[in-house]
């Protein structure tokens, strides 16, 4: 399954037959098309400037292009979700942190190979979808490097950040041990981007206890593409039925509320 993996020190492994990969941009566009087909209007390039409320409930949203009246607001602002929450007194405890990954030179990685994860070393591997035969590798450190401590710039939109090899090299060392062929192949590209993360590494979902009909769907900890569709379904059920059809206690936003 993974012929390039060094296995002499492994005690066991887990195979996930239905594991797969997707292109994030195309996946997001497909979900947006499905929403539009269902009657949803999508507007981009608009900045939220405030959340309107009356008697403890949402009444609308203020933007740089005018106000929108509504009975329900869903804050799915990603790394901006905390800032949006502060507009109406809702605590959304997440913060942006740097996430680093690299792509090797072509090294014969075949199509259809499964993603590989080494949880002990907190690294992951998958076939790169842009460079044929190349391997993409990244890691999630226990003590992440925070970003945007002074606030996220208004003109920032998932741009690349300055590389920090010293911070990342521990992952590289673990990676070339697990997949030795990476060292010979060498590094083609090294990326640093920003993602939002929560204190307990769990999502933040549900109706905010501070404001009626203000829902939050944020803090997906760099798994937004994988969890996006299920998150949307859960929030829709929550809004329409008053509760989701699955137990989401461990990701409920109320776990952070100061009772």
**What count of Cα atoms within 13 Å lies in the side-chain half-sphere of residue 5?**
15
CA pair distance 79, 31, nearest whole angstrom: 20
Span(s) in the chain for CATH 3.50.50.60: 46-94+200-256
Q: What is the mean pLDDT of residues 44-71?
A: 96
Identify the CATH class of 46-94+200-256. alpha beta
Alpha helices per DSSP H over 87-223 = 165-178, 181-185
Q: What angle do CA 244, 249, 255 make, to 5 degrees?
A: 125
CATH architecture of 96-197: 2-Layer Sandwich (3.30)
DSSP string, 206-249: EE-TTSBTEEEEE--TT-HHHHHHHHHHHHHHHHHHSS-SS--G
- What's 178's DSSP letter? H
* pLDDT digits 0-9 by tens, 188-232: 999 999 999 999 999 999 999 999 999 999 999 999 988 999 999
Span(s) in the chain for CATH 3.30.9.10: 96-197
User: 92 with 82: CB under 8 angstroms?
Assistant: yes
Q: Is the pLDDT of residue 259 over 60?
A: no
Strand partners, 200: none
* pLDDT digits 0-9 by tens, 66-84: 999 999 999 999 999 999 9
């Amino acid at each position: 399954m993974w012929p390039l993996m060094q296995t002499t020190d492994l005690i066991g492994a887990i195979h996930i037959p239905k594991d797969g990969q997707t292109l994030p941009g195309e996946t997001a566009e497909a979900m947006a098309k499905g929403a539009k087909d269902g009657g949803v209007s999508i507007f981009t390039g608009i900045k939220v400037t405030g959340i309107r409320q009356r008697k403890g409930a949402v009444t609308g949203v203020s933007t740089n292009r005018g106000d929108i009246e509504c009975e329900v607001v869903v804050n799915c602002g990603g790394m901006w979700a905390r800032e949006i929450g502060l507009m109406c007194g809702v605590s959304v405890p997440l913060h942006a942190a740097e996430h680093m990954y690299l792509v090797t030179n072509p090294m014969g990685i075949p199509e259809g190979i499964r993603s590989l994860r080494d949880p002990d070393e907190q690294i992951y591997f998958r076939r790169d979808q842009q460079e044929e035969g190349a391997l993409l590798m990244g890691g999630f450190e226990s003590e992440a490097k925070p970003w945007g401590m002074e606030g996220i710039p208004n003109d920032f939109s998932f741009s690349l950040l300055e590389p920090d090899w010293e911070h990342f090299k521990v992952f590289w060392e673990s990676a070339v041990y697990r997949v030795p062929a990476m060292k010979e192949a060498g590094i083609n590209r090294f990326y640093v981007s920003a993602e939002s993360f929560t204190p307990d590494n769990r999502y933040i979902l549900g109706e905010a206890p501070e404001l009626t009909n203000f829902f939050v769907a944020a803090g997906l900890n760099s798994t937004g593409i994988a969890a996006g569709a299920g998150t949307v379904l859960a929030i829709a059920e929550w809004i329409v039925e008053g509760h989701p059809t699955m137990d989401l206690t461990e990701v409920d936003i109320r776990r952070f509320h100061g009772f």
